Amino acid sequence: MKIAIFYGSMTGNTESAAKTIAEKFGGAECFAVDAGSLTKMADYDLILLGSSTWGIGDPEDSWDVLLGDLASLHLEGKFVSFFGMGNQDGFGDSYVDAMGVLKEALSGSGATFVGTWPTDGYSFTESKSLENGAFVGLALDDDNQPGQTDARIAAWVEKLQSEVA
């Protein structure tokens, strides 16, 4: 299975998470998202989209160039998941919203969404990344819970591996 990670990161936290995720998969390719990312996605079977959240609930700026075009993607037969970096104490009403924004943009793509994540151990009020009481992908918080990032990534990668096996 060919795996790719596309991430947007302002200060490096999501980038660092993306690289750790790639290592745990042992062979995933890792790209900073840019205008060429859409065509690259066609080459992969499992596509992981990562973003920190900025403003109040916006994906990191690098996603701007292709957010509108995500809706036109055809990802039938492909698995897609998300990871998000945010600050649940400072932005508890928009914690990791970017994952929800990205998933919404792909709602008509035909992708099979995998890798939901429980909300246990997080403290926030609202998030666009919630569906049926779970995050649509892996929620991370290097501002308040940096010591949990590696373990969360390891457990999430295992969960993903079993879901796509």
Contact footprint for ligand FMN (CB under 6 A): 9-14, 52-57, 60, 85-87, 91, 94-97, 142-143
Shortest distance in whole angstroms from residue 12 CB to ligand FMN: 5
Closer by beta carbon to ligand FMN, 33 or else 111: 33
For the chain, what is the total number of helices (H) and then of strands (E)? 5, 9
From the CB of residue 149, how many other CB atoms can be counted at a distance below 10 Å? 18
Closer by beta carbon to ligand FMN, 94 or else 109: 94
Shortest distance in whole angstroms from residue 16 CB to ligand FMN: 8
- Of all residues in the shown chain, the one whose CB is closest to ligand FMN is 86
Closer by beta carbon to ligand FMN, 60 or else 73: 60
Cβ atoms 115, 159 nearer than 8 A = yes
- DSSP string covering 106-161: TTTS--EE---B--TT---S--TTEETTEESSEEE-TTT-GGGHHHHHHHHHHHHH
Closer by beta carbon to ligand FMN, 79 or else 95: 95
Q: Report the amino acid identity of residue 67.
A: L
